[in-house]
A and B are shown apart, each in its own frame.
Chain A
Amino acid sequence: MKAFAAATIFLAYLLNAPSSYAAEVASRAPLVQHGQVLRGEFVQHRHLAGFGAPLRSTGQFSVAPGEGLIWKSLVPIPTTVAISLHGLVQTSGGTELMRLSAVQAPQFAQFYRFLEAALAGDWNALAERYDIVTSRDGEGHVILLRPKNGGGMLPFESVTITLDRFVTGIVIDRHGGDSDRIRFSGIAVDEGGLGDGERTLLESTAQ
């Protein structure tokens, strides 16, 4: 009887072993290559402990691997954030609100690397800084990231990414009980690359 129970537990473990999914997910090539741009829309709910309701914002994003990320909120505050390895520029209505170099605020460069890898599905890049546990969710996958070595400069407790072909959602649980829940839709790979305005904006992060 004991042997049967042990065999059952072992079989159940094998069937649910995350490593089998991990291998499958890790074997995927990144969804977007250099020269391409991943574009889509987002709805973000920021849950802040002690606040009456989550802060909701919606907008569009563009990720160009190696070049940068543009996060364009439309509601409630029209604002654009461009982040690259060189720094961050935030504008609203054509007015620059904030500019930070990667030297001043290296955490933004780390955040850019994280978000670019997560949206582009570059799991190997994420595996350098996170322990990755994958599991299946219907037709899609759920990927749980836990920061290695304390997480570096990003105050993340854990990150949960859901994906089918593209990433459909990211939940970032932060230290202190705050969390961001971002749903993505309409994601597509733009073979045409960045537009001139986008390129100028990203290049401006290096100034």
Chain B
Amino acid sequence: MIGLFRALWVGVVIAALVYLGFAVADGLRFDTDMLALVPPAEQEPEYRAAVNALSADFERRFVLLVGGEDDRNAIAAARIVARAVEGTGHVERNTALSPSGARSALLDLYLPYAGQLLSSDDRRRLRQDQGEAIAQRALAQIFSPASFATSRQIRQDPFQLLPAFLASLPPPPMREARQVGPDQIYSDEAGRSWVLLDYRLLAEPYALRVQRRIESALASAERDNGGAPVLRLGTLFFAQSGAETSLREMSLIGGASLAGIVALLVWTFRSIGPVWQSVLALLTGVVCAVAVGTALFPRLHVVALLFGTTLIGTTIDYCMHYFCTAFGPGGASAQARLRHILPGVILGVVTTLIGYAALVLAPFPGLRQIAVVSSAGIAAAALTVLLWFPVLNRRITVSRGRLPMSIAGLAYHWLRRPRYRLVRSCLAMGVVVAGMAGIALLQINDDIRTMQAADARLLDEQRRVREITGLAPALQYILLAAPDHGAALQREERLRSRLERLRGQGAIDGFTMAASFIPSPARQLEDRSLVRQKLEGPMLARQRAHLGLLAPKAPGREVSGDTVLTFEESSVSLPFLKNLAVTTEDGGLFHVVPLRGVKDEQAVQRAIVDLSAARLVDPVGGVNKLLADYRRWAVGILALSVGLMFALLVWRYRLLGGVRALFAPVAAIVLTPGLLALVGHSFSCFDAMALILVLAVGADYAIFCAEASQAWRRVTLLAILLAALTSMLSFGLLAFSSNFAVASFGFTMLVGVLLSLIFAPVAFARPTRPPK
């Protein structure tokens, strides 16, 4: 019968492998979109697509400032840098940033439409029949020495409506550069010149190959320039720095972890068998997990994949228990060993699956995927241990385990001798009191910005670029959906007055919108009619006479009929407008209104609540909220899991036995955050997720202790010790990572597994009735 199951399991694993192979051949891709982790009810796919399109564009852009003692040196150095960077073939020059020259471009663009572009003040004046004041202002300006109006501008705009309109435009998003030939040059406070190079990546910004190519081109250009400074700003550089650090850490931490685990297993069992057999169990778990995840979900998220497969790592415990049974009192028969661990493995798997299955209840797609992937993986790895290990692992002899067993014996001796009871109690109480005291100090941290360990040099360069150019990315923005640009501009105009009110109230520092530069077609037609009626009709002839304009021309405009200035026409002359609109892959059009200095997000939300097409987007706030939601759900699910586990353990061991069995995992998940708080570690989503793992391993340790008869306790202790050491080596070493999320996970695992190990023997106490 067992042989049939064994063969069947081989077939299932092969089927999973084949299925996965086909999925990979079909172009299996994992979802990397953080917004996909948000509950579907909050997602709004069309806005999500727009946000993603904007993020993708933002991630592909980068800016370089090349410095020199004066313009000539800076330009020469910039030429070398540009040649090197453009030589990689991965970039194109971007003109969308360039504010320099925008002023003359504005005039050329607007002049033909001068009679239909009104500042809000002029519109108000005309509505209040104050056209005379506008006419007088025009004359005063034209006669003033400070007038920059050319004869052409005066002929076409005798009421000088355009200068007033231009003056009403918002300040440029960046400082104005000096245009020297084709180069835009900024000066810093020390008088040094900096040439701006603005690029868009044509390749994937997170591809390490691309990042290294660009960085190498920059390094070579810097050498050729004799050390002329180059300041970098862009996701590309931070991504590369992060990737290189991660690679270094992975090779160091991963190498140390692997070497430690292999050395530990080989030393304990004097055989390489347990190493590859453990790897086999974990691999079958991962293969089955990914296959099930891919089959059940249209697109598996990379976060769920990573965390789900990490959870499978807890099944290393079952491997250790199986291997250690070779040192047990009942002989080395494979079937006997299997029989001995079977109840513990089944109970361990069931309690773990109960806990993870609770994740399915969460409304978060990420947690549901994690639940499915980890449950499938853990069940598969456990089946491999139960079905294959008795065949694969027969050769460990008891004599090889003498030393490890004597170490476990010492531990057991210390645990059961009454004279150590006081010391044991004091130590346990000390840990409990310290942990509980730490809980009072616990700080919650959901702010992604505090979790980023960005390269200090790049941060400094970013700060310098912002100081010199005034370039400051908007951290929050409003997305406006519309069928076309004209309608979008009209919606922006409705939004504008509300945002101006918010600015007046100090809720925001400012905003940028396309409608500030191009009034909607409806408004242009309305303004044209107003100008004709209130200004040109009654006053044009007199104004022209004052100015000595000879030949009468079409009043104030070169365009005729219903021609209006369009977004498309404007964005050719003013390329920065392209950054204020985004079209999604399925053709959805959105206008973007970046907000500066948002002080009161709720006020902004209230201001747009009745604008059905408007959404406030706060990428950082969104991620923070997501982290907070996941943290809360993880903690809630931990509590639910504990409840479900308790029911199962009470069924198995009765009330007191259940309490003892649950003591270690509960103590671990409660005290770990407290103990970490004592050393200043804040509690984040990553700690909460690690606690789910701690609960699983803690429950495993305790269950095996509860299942162990007197004669097997030293063997069980050895297995738990080995399981804990491998967990600490694989997860605990992550605490040394410079990445906050990884380090948090590692810290919590390190302390949590240690506490689980320390308290697991509590479950050794005789249950009130023999195990079923």
A and B part of one assembly: yes
A residues whose Cβ falls under 8 Å from a Cβ of B: 44, 46, 48-53, 55, 57, 71, 73, 76-77, 79, 81, 83, 88, 90, 92, 95, 97-98, 100, 103-108, 111, 115, 149-150, 152-153, 155, 174-178, 180, 182
Check if B171 sits within 8 Å of A51, measured CB to CB.
no
Q: Which B residues are in CB contact (< 8 Å) with A52?
A: 548-550
* Contact A77-B146, Cβ < 8 Å, known A49-B151, A51-B151: no
| In the complex, chain B residues 532-559 whose Cβ is within 8 Å of any chain A Cβ | 546-550
Q: Which single member of B103, B152, B164, B550 contacts A153 (CB below 8 Å)?
A: B103
CB distance from A204 to the nearest CB of B (A): 16
Using CB atoms, name the residue of chain A closest to B152.
Answer: A176
What are 23 inter-chain pairs, A to B, with CB distance below 8 A? A46-B147, A50-B151, A50-B155, A50-B550, A52-B548, A52-B549, A55-B548, A76-B546, A79-B143, A81-B144, A90-B144, A95-B133, A97-B136, A97-B141, A98-B137, A98-B167, A104-B167, A104-B171, A105-B167, A107-B148, A115-B145, A149-B180, A177-B151
CB distance from B516 to the nearest CB of A (A): 12
Cα distance A149–B184 in the bound complex, in angstroms: 12
B527 on the A face (CB < 8 A): no
Using CB atoms, name the residue of chain A closest to B151.
Answer: A48
Bitwise, B128-147 to A at CB < 8 A (1) or not (0) is 00000100110111111111
B447 on the A face (CB < 8 A): no
B178 on the A face (CB < 8 A): yes
Check if A44 sits within 8 Å of B145, measured CB to CB.
yes
Check if B145 sits within 8 Å of A71, measured CB to CB.
yes
Cα distance A103–B167 in the bound complex, in angstroms: 10
Check if A108 sits within 8 Å of B146, measured CB to CB.
yes
Looking at A83, A97, A152, which has the most chain B CB atoms within 10 Å of its CB?
Answer: A97
Q: Which single member of A51, A77, A152 contacts B549 (CB below 8 Å)?
A: A51
Check if A149 sits within 8 Å of B71, measured CB to CB.
yes
Q: Which single member of B137, B148, B151, B155 contacts A92 (CB below 8 Å)?
A: B137
Q: Which B residues are in CB contact (< 8 Å) with A182?
A: 145
Using CB atoms, name the residue of chain A closest to B140.
Answer: A79
Excluding A55-B548, A92-B137, 11 further A-B contacts by CB distance (< 8 Å) are A46-B147, A50-B155, A51-B151, A52-B548, A57-B143, A97-B141, A104-B167, A104-B171, A107-B103, A176-B151, A177-B151
CB distance from A192 to the nearest CB of B (A): 25
Check if A97 sits within 8 Å of B548, measured CB to CB.
no
Cα distance A103–B179 in the bound complex, in angstroms: 18
Q: Which A residues are in CB contact (< 8 Å) with B139?
A: 76-77
Check if A97 sits within 8 Å of B151, measured CB to CB.
no
Cα distance A100–B163 in the bound complex, in angstroms: 10
* Contact A92-B136, Cβ < 8 Å, known A103-B171, A174-B150: yes
Using CB atoms, name the residue of chain A closest to B185.
Answer: A149
Number of A-B contacts (CB under 8 A): 100
B46 on the A face (CB < 8 A): no
Cα distance A44–B143 in the bound complex, in angstroms: 8
Using CB atoms, name the residue of chain B closest to A42.
Answer: B145
Looking at A48, A76, A88, which has the most chain B CB atoms within 10 Å of its CB?
Answer: A48
Cα distance A79–B146 in the bound complex, in angstroms: 12
Q: Which single member of A49, A53, A104, A149 contacts B548 (CB below 8 Å)?
A: A53
* Contact A90-B549, Cβ < 8 Å, known A50-B151, A50-B155: no
Check if A55 sits within 8 Å of B142, measured CB to CB.
yes
Check if A71 sits within 8 Å of B549, measured CB to CB.
no
B249 on the A face (CB < 8 A): no
Check if B178 sits within 8 Å of A149, measured CB to CB.
yes
Bitwise, B98-138 to A at CB < 8 A (1) or not (0) is 00000100000000000000000000000000000100110
B154 on the A face (CB < 8 A): yes
B176 on the A face (CB < 8 A): yes
* Contact A90-B140, Cβ < 8 Å, known A51-B547, A95-B133: yes
Q: Which A residues are in CB contact (< 8 Å) with B145?
A: 44, 71, 81, 115, 180, 182
Looking at A77, A81, A92, A180, which has the most chain B CB atoms within 10 Å of its CB?
Answer: A77
Using CB atoms, name the residue of chain B closest to A108.
Answer: B146
Cα distance A152–B148 in the bound complex, in angstroms: 13
CB distance from B393 to the nearest CB of A (A): 76
Cα distance A111–B148 in the bound complex, in angstroms: 10
Check if B167 sits within 8 Å of A71, measured CB to CB.
no
Q: Which B residues are in CB contact (< 8 Å) with A50?
A: 151, 155, 550
Q: Which B residues are in CB contact (< 8 Å) with A100?
A: 167
| In the complex, chain B residues 155-181 whose Cβ is within 8 Å of any chain A Cβ | 155, 163-164, 167, 169, 171, 176, 178-180
Q: Which B residues are in CB contact (< 8 Å) with A177?
A: 151
CB distance from A65 to the nearest CB of B (A): 18
CB distance from B25 to the nearest CB of A (A): 59
Check if A46 sits within 8 Å of B164, measured CB to CB.
no
Cα distance A104–B546 in the bound complex, in angstroms: 29
Q: Which B residues are in CB contact (< 8 Å) with A149?
A: 71, 178, 180
Looking at B133, B144, B178, which has the most chain A CB atoms within 10 Å of its CB?
Answer: B144
CB distance from B164 to the nearest CB of A (A): 7
Q: Which B residues are in CB contact (< 8 Å) with A46?
A: 142-143, 147
Cα distance A52–B143 in the bound complex, in angstroms: 15
Q: Which B residues are in CB contact (< 8 Å) with A98?
A: 137, 141, 163-164, 167
Q: Which B residues are in CB contact (< 8 Å) with A55?
A: 142-143, 547-548
Cα distance A177–B154 in the bound complex, in angstroms: 14
Check if A97 sits within 8 Å of B137, measured CB to CB.
yes
Cα distance A97–B140 in the bound complex, in angstroms: 9
Q: Which B residues are in CB contact (< 8 Å) with A71?
A: 144-146
Check if B150 sits within 8 Å of A77, measured CB to CB.
no
Cα distance A175–B550 in the bound complex, in angstroms: 22
Cα distance A76–B139 in the bound complex, in angstroms: 9
* Contact A51-B176, Cβ < 8 Å, known A104-B171, A107-B103: no
CB distance from A63 to the nearest CB of B (A): 12
Cα distance A174–B133 in the bound complex, in angstroms: 28
Cα distance A106–B167 in the bound complex, in angstroms: 11
Q: Which A residues are in CB contact (< 8 Å) with B548?
A: 51-53, 55
Cα distance A175–B151 in the bound complex, in angstroms: 10
Check if B146 sits within 8 Å of A111, measured CB to CB.
yes
* Contact A150-B179, Cβ < 8 Å, known A73-B143, A98-B141, A100-B167: yes
A-B complex: 10 closest residue pairs judged by Cβ atoms: A48-B151, A79-B140, A97-B137, A52-B548, A49-B151, A57-B143, A52-B550, A77-B139, A103-B171, A77-B140
Check if B150 sits within 8 Å of A106, measured CB to CB.
no
